[in-house]
């Protein structure tokens, strides 16, 4: 799938660059092909230095798409009015709109909202109300570092959670050892009545070697444990009353336990609260009669209007938000941060709250 995505992105980038060179030349007859290419190239370089190459690619593709849109509008207006504009307003509008668009996208990615859900159950959960607060996809170092995480920890504490759940991708392949360790230290400041729990995402174990990363999975797990975080890897643990936490391993692990097996480990009549980083096993989790499944991974779809692509190609069962299938509740968070991409337009960064109450 990633090969196909990258092939499409590279093809779009090539088309974007060639098109932008042509469009830049419309500003003045003095701009020849080489000068136009230099302008586009320098612009790409500046974006790459300000952010990263992948973010520069995203901006350039959007610039191309917006420019094509406004050129089309300009052509339509010219045909209707039979008049040609004295200035190349389409290019000016494109640059202004793209700037505003990515300014908003930056804001949505770099600020965090609280998103709250209420889930009712007919089961006797043993308490009147159980407040779950959590987040996913911090990808520490991509959007913010440990010092900013400490601020978010304070916001979480203000919500007075019964339990805090981290649904994967707390760290990233590029997270430095210092950032990893101090981020884990920040989690020790979380205040809950029933603890802090973590389940693996695809980036936590990492795609790079321990040597290249600067630390091993064992180092990461040790820091989590030292700071009071319970790691759940295909196992079940009682939270409080009649509520049990089920931590599923990430789907990239071949030996991942089946939903039905994990569900059988939950006592009859108990409420099962599942941490499953990737939202792509809904049928099995529904058939296993799990009560609430919390996921991340999708980043809320990232960019409008391609937010639902993961669902269209069958990679995800849901992109964002709440859904109920039979008696199983599903929630997918957009994440508290992001992977390499520093912009969000199809969603916003968030901390989620789920209030579990008896009907």
d(CA 275, CA 268): 19
β-partners of residue 165 are: 134, 197
User: What is d(CA 293, CA 163) in angstroms, rounded to the nearest whole number?
Assistant: 15
Question: What is the rounded CA–CA span in Å between residue 39 and residue 42?
Answer: 5
Rounded distance, CA 211 to CA 263, Å?
37
C-alpha to C-alpha distances, 98 to 26, 34, 53, 93, 352, nearest whole angstrom:
18, 24, 18, 8, 30
d(CA 106, CA 221) in angstroms, rounded, equals: 32
E-strand ranges in the chain read 112-121, 129-135, 163-166, 196-198, 229-231, 235-240, 243-247, 271-275, 292-295, 321-325, 328-332, 349-358
Q: Per-residue pLDDT tens for 238-292?
A: 999 999 999 999 987 768 899 999 999 999 999 999 999 999 999 999 999 999 9
- 285 CB-near residues (< 8 Å, 6+ apart): 259, 274, 276, 293, 328, 330
Per-residue pLDDT of the chain (359 residues; tens, 9 = 90+): 556 667 777 888 898 999 999 999 999 889 999 999 999 999 999 999 999 999 999 999 999 999 999 999 999 999 999 888 889 999 999 999 999 999 999 999 999 999 999 999 999 999 999 999 999 999 999 999 999 999 999 999 999 999 999 999 999 999 999 999 999 999 999 999 999 999 999 999 888 888 899 999 999 999 999 999 999 999 999 999 999 999 999 987 768 899 999 999 999 999 999 999 999 999 999 999 999 999 999 999 988 888 888 888 888 999 999 999 999 999 999 999 998 899 999 899 999 999 999 98
Q: State the DSSP code for 92.
A: H
SS3 277: coil
- pLDDT tens-place string over residues 99-116: 999 999 999 999 999 999
Q: Give dist(CA 219, CA 181) in Å, integer.
A: 9
pTM for this predicted structure: 0.91
Q: Confirm if 170 and 140 have CB atoms less than 8 A apart.
A: yes
């Amino acid at each position: 799938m990633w090969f196909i995505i990258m092939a499409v992105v590279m093809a779009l980038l090539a088309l974007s660059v060639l098109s932008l060179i042509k469009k830049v030349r419309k500003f003045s007859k003095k701009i020849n092909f080489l000068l136009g290419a230099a302008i586009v190239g320098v612009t790409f370089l500046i974006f790459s230095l300000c952010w990263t190459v992948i973010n520069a690619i995203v901006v350039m593709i959007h610039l191309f798409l917006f420019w094509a849109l406004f050129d089309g509008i300009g052509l339509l207006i010219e045909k209707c009015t039979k008049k040609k504009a004295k200035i190349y307003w389409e290019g000016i509008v494109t640059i202004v709109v793209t700037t505003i668009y990515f300014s908003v996208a930056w804001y949505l990615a770099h600020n965090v909202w609280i998103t709250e859900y209420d889930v009712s159950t007919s089961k006797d959960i043993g308490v009147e109300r159980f407040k779950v607060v959590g987040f996913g996809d911090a990808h520490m170092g991509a959007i913010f570092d440990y010092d900013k995480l400490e601020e978010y920890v304070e916001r979480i504490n203000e919500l007075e959670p019964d339990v805090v759940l981290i649904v994967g991708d707390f760290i990233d392949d590029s997270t430095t050892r210092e950032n990893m360790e101090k981020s884990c230290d920040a989690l020790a400041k979380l205040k809950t009545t029933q603890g802090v729990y973590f389940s693996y995402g695809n980036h936590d174990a990492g795609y790079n070697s321990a040597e290249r990363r600067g630390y091993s999975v064992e180092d990461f797990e040790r820091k989590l444990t030292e700071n009071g975080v319970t790691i759940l890897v295909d196992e079940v643990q009682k939270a409080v009353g009649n509520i049990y936490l089920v931590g599923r391993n990430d789907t990239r692990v071949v030996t991942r336990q089946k939903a039905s097996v994990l569900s059988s480990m939950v006592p009859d009549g108990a409420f099962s609260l599942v941490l499953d980083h990737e939202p792509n096993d809904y049928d099995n989790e529904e058939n296993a009669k799990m009560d609430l499944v919390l996921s991340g991974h999708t980043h809320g779809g990232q960019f409008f209007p391609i937010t639902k692509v993961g669902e269209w190609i069958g990679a995800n069962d849901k992109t964002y938000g709440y859904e109920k299938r039979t008696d199983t509740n599903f929630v997918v968070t957009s994440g508290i941060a992001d992977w390499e991409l520093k912009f969000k337009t199809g969603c916003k960064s968030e901390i989620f709250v789920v209030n579990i109450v008896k009907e």
